[in-house]
Amino acid sequence: AQKITQTQPGMFVQEKEAVTLDCTYDTSDPSYGLFWYKQPSSGEMIFLIYQGSYDQQNATEGRYSLNFQKARKSANLVISASQLGDSAMYFCAMKTSYDKVIFGPGTSLSVIP
Amino acid sequence: KAGVTQTPRYLIKTRGQQVTLSCSPISGHRSVSWYQQTPGQGLQFLFEYFSETQRNKGNFPGRFSGRQFSNSRSEMNVSTLELGDSALYLCASSPSLGGDLYNEQFFGPGTRLTVL
């Protein structure tokens, strides 16, 4: 069975500091894609970053980077230089071949001024 | 391009009623997925449509149904509403389907359904 685990229900980070949000996944499919989404209090899900299982390098998108450790089945999101606007729920998600996207339970991030 | 739109944004119903939610995907996107989000269960996949065909289905009772039209717009219907159906229903569209692992989904703002 495929599963996404996010063990941090809530996190706090000081403004301008970096923060790592944990995500571990489980799948027997060798081909998969991993995604991170942000959900502000407004409710809309915003795509942040993608990592493919065969990608050799860790994905980066601006202040977001993904620490992909395939052997450990982890795909942690790193946000550098946190901003107040980063306060939101963050969801890790996975898609395998011809299967639906599954989401983790999410981590609530609060950025403290 | 216009984003994914969902109507209505808010809905209040009573137990036993039925409801229909609508989703218009981004122009050119042929895949539409629906999710239910609740504080207790998180984001749960309902179903996915591509070219008017249901391609994937989550573990929801038959009271939850959906369809997709030839213009890719999608509707989901919930019959005989229960209190536990109160949730944010999110629709997401994607330009690709199935074997594409890079399946970035673009989400709409959601419909918040309250069942009294």
Test the A interface: residue of B9, B32, B37, B43 with most A CBs within 10 Å = B43
* B66 close contact with A: CB closer than 8 A: no
Instruction: Please state the rounded mean pLDDT for residues B9-30.
Output: 95
Q: What CA–CA distances, in Å, run from B37 to A75, A86, A92, B40, B42? A: 23, 21, 15, 9, 5
- What local confidence, expressed as pLDDT, does residue A1 receive? 76
- What local confidence, expressed as pLDDT, does residue A10 receive? 94
Residue B99 has pLDDT above 60, yes or no: no
Question: How would residue B104 be classed by pLDDT, with cut points 50, 70 and 90?
Answer: confident
Q: What CA–CA distances, in Å, run from A55 to A32, A52, A58, B32? A: 10, 5, 7, 26
Instruction: Please state the rounded mean pLDDT for residues B10-29.
Output: 96
- What local confidence, expressed as pLDDT, does residue B27 receive? 92
Instruction: Please state the rounded mean pLDDT for residues B13-20.
Output: 97
* B113 close contact with A: CB closer than 8 A: no
Question: Using CA atoms, how far apart are residues A55 and A49, in angstroms rounded to an integer?
Answer: 13
Instruction: Please state the rounded mean pLDDT for residues B60-84.
Output: 96
| Single-letter code of the amino acid located at B90 | L
Residue B2 has pLDDT above 90, yes or no: no
Task: Give B-chain residues touching A95 at CB under 8 angstroms.
Answer: 101, 103
* B16 close contact with A: CB closer than 8 A: no
Comparing alpha-carbon positions, the chain B residue that sits nearest to A43 is B109
Test the B interface: residue of A44, A47, A53 with most B CBs within 10 Å = A44
* A100 close contact with B: CB closer than 8 A: yes
Residue-wise pLDDT for B45-68, tens only, equals 999 998 899 988 899 999 999 999
* A47 close contact with B: CB closer than 8 A: yes
* A43 close contact with B: CB closer than 8 A: yes
Residue B98 has pLDDT above 60, yes or no: no
Task: Give A-chain residues touching B34 at CB under 8 angstroms.
Answer: none
- What local confidence, expressed as pLDDT, does residue B41 receive? 85
Question: Using CA atoms, how far apart are residues A45 and B80, in angstroms rounded to an integer?
Answer: 28
Q: Do A95 and B90 touch (CB under 8 A)?
A: no
* B108 close contact with A: CB closer than 8 A: yes
pLDDT along chain A (113 residues), means of 10: 91 97 94 94 90 92 96 96 97 84 94 96
Residue B1 has pLDDT above 70, yes or no: no
